[in-house]
């Protein structure tokens, strides 16, 4: 069974490690969390929401959806949708819906891990002796 939360979390972590200087956000984790939510909502490498597809392959989206219908139902309920539109749009839209639904949870998990690892700590400047 495909683990959506695990994959979205891994994609968020990859994005943060490649695109974000955590020392700039040392005193503003909430701000970083908001920025990531805004930026990654439409990031194809994390949610697929910009293009409407994470995989750009309906077959792969269908494979990920297998045994995850309950997760899709949760996402649709959270977004206040009855599911009719998403079902008409197909597997890729359903896949993106789940990824968007889990995005906030994945961002929180990544930032918690990075905080535990000390990634938000500002680098101490070495004082020069004169």
Tell me what pLDDT residue 124 has. Answer: 47
56, 33, 83, 91: CA torsion to nearest 10: 20
Ramachandran sector of residue 126 (left: φ over 0; alpha: ψ -120 to 50; beta: rest): beta
pLDDT (tens, 9 = 90+) of the chain, 130 residues, equals 999 999 999 999 999 999 999 889 988 999 999 999 999 999 999 999 999 999 999 999 999 999 999 999 999 999 987 767 888 899 999 999 999 999 999 999 999 999 898 877 765 444 444 4
Domain boundaries, the chain: 4-21+28-116
Tell me what pLDDT residue 88 has. Answer: 87
Tell me what pLDDT residue 81 has. Answer: 79
Q: Alpha-carbon distance 31 to 82, whole Å?
A: 32
Q: Alpha-carbon distance 12 to 8, whole Å?
A: 6
Tell me what pLDDT residue 86 has. Answer: 85
CB atoms near residue 107 (< 10 Å) = 24
């Amino acid at each position: 069974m495909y683990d959506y939360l695990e994959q979205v979390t891994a994609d968020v972590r990859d994005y943060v490690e490649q695109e974000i200087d955590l020392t700039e956000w040392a005193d503003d984790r909430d701000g970083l969390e908001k920025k990531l939510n805004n930026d990654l909502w439409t990031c194809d490498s994390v949610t697929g929401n910009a293009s409407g597809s994470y995989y750009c392959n309906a077959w792969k989206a269908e494979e990920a959806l297998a045994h995850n219908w309950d997760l899709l139902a949760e996402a649709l309920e959270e977004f206040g949708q009855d599911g009719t539109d998403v079902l008409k749009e197909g597997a890729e839209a359903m896949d993106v819906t789940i990824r968007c639904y889990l995005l906030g949870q994945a961002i929180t998990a990544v930032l918690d891990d990075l905080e535990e690892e000390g990634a938000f700590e500002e680098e101490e400047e070495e004082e020069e002796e004169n």
